[in-house]
Amino acid sequence: MSDSHARAFWTLAPGLGAIEEETLPAPGAGEVVIESLYSGISRGSEALVFNGRVPPSQYDVMRAPFQVGDFPGPVKYGYASVGRIESGPQARVGETVFCLHPHQDRFIVPAAAALTVPPDVPAARAVLAANMETAVNATWDVPPRTGDRIAVFGGGVVGCLIACLAARTAGTEVTLVDPDPDRARLAEQLGANWRTPGTLERSDHDLVFEASGTADGLREALGVAGHEATLAVVSWFGDRDVALPLGAAFHSRRLTLRSTQVGRIAPERAARWPHARRLALALELLADPSLDALISGESDFDDLPATLSRLAGEPPGVLCHRVRYPAAERYELETACTASTSVTIS
């Protein structure tokens, strides 16, 4: 393969994607060339982009860090890439890194944008870093407190990660609300209970997170918030309007509706936590092997146009879908050989 050759996934128009070849420029000072191993499909936002449902008013807000092109397309979009540095500062060559980059088999970014994947986090799991960063930010915007009774609506990747983080707070009782019965075992692995929509008996929750992406989920979440509780809206509804029951007991219960979005860091932390530090924390939090359960499928990079078309149609049961690049096979073989040698020596 030529050092300047690369292939990238593009949304050409709503509902139409393709893998296009491109020529990489020579890397500049302070830049690294990364060979991709895996990337993750963040189905909520990527489905909106693929289907052309990003409202014009949100074009700037929705831009990914290394996006090329503009909405609705052609646009190169995505933000969950794991790869290995193949050239750059000598000390970093061969390093496994995470980068907020679209789906592409080789790419160039500033070295500071390539965050080291911790040694106890498998590269294949590190594709969850962007979703974990969103979950971290949600729990910073509306922090779980010791002993809180917490409901999380929506058992997608972000909802599950929020439930996981909330359950790690001492004394909390966390319930994941999702219609998929397969979420029961997953919730248990993450330290939470599970209920289907409409069956949550308590209406006195201290804190509620809504990550279902559905109007019904948001309305039910509002109904189970306790007196003076906060409902954190994690979902982004794109170009859809959502009607909420803000009459009846909404005012007398003095409820707070709070949007949370990963583009900005909570004001009380912003002075100390640049985005890179927050993302590094997200990577560290992926050391938990139970989080492998959030990877619900894997397919080859060459199949990505068909894969994203299918996932954008909201099939049931999908969590994070991992994209596998040709370099992953060689990487896995090398990693297995290194692990085998280490065991033999010890």
> H or E segment at 257?
strand 256-259
> Which phi and psi angles does 56 have, rounded to 5°?
-55, -30
Confidence at residue 344, expressed as pLDDT on a 0 to 100 scale: 54
Distances (CA, A) of 162 to 2, 156, 291, 337: 42, 10, 12, 35
Q: Which among 6, 5, 13 is positioned nearest to 75, based on CA atoms?
A: 13
Q: Which among 126, 124, 104, 107 is positioned nearest to 115, based on CA atoms?
A: 126
**Domain assignments of the chain as residue spans, ordered by start:** 5-130+289-345, 143-259
Q: If you count them, how many residues does the chain have?
A: 346
CATH topology of domain 5-130+289-345: Quinone Oxidoreductase; Chain A, domain 1 (3.90.180)
How far, in Å, CA of 59 to CA of 44, rounded? Answer: 16
Mean pLDDT per 10-residue section of the chain, whose length is 346 residues? 83 97 95 98 91 93 95 97 96 96 98 97 98 97 97 97 98 97 96 96 94 95 96 90 88 93 91 96 97 97 97 87 96 81 55
Confidence at residue 317, expressed as pLDDT on a 0 to 100 scale: 84
Sign, CA torsion 223/226/229/234? negative
Residue 329 CB-half CA count within 13 A: 5
Give bridge partners of residue 87 from the DSSP assignment.
33
* The CATH number of domain 143-259 is 3.30.1310.10: no
How far, in Å, CA of 5 to CA of 227, rounded? Answer: 59
Which residues are within 8 A (CB) of 65 and not within 5 positions of it... i.e. 6 or more apart?
A: 79, 100, 101, 113
Confidence at residue 345, expressed as pLDDT on a 0 to 100 scale: 55
